[in-house]
Amino acid sequence: MKAGGKRLLFESPPDGYTVFIGIDTTFIINPHIYKNIAFKTSDLKPVLILASSGLLAGMNAGIGIRIMADLVSGGTSKG
């Protein structure tokens, strides 16, 4: 990770004056998909949730998929 803001976050003293606001993928997903990540999630403590949102799956209506089960079965049946 080379982003300046995150680097400053990890280099700052744990005095309660430095706050980072970011999306959860930075700390939850990225450590599992990138080999060399410059932080440990155990070095941070979440203090609040500012927002929550769902995910949306969208596709062309002409392909005949109406529900998630159709998508899953179509993907597995085509190999």
pLDDT computed for residue 1 by the predictor: 42
Phi, psi at 29, each rounded to 5°: -90, -45
Can you give the pLDDT of all 79 residues of the chain as single tens digits? 445 666 778 788 888 888 888 777 777 778 888 888 777 777 778 888 888 877 777 788 888 888 888 888 876 665 5
Q: Report if pTM > 0.85.
A: no
Domain borders along the chain are 4-77
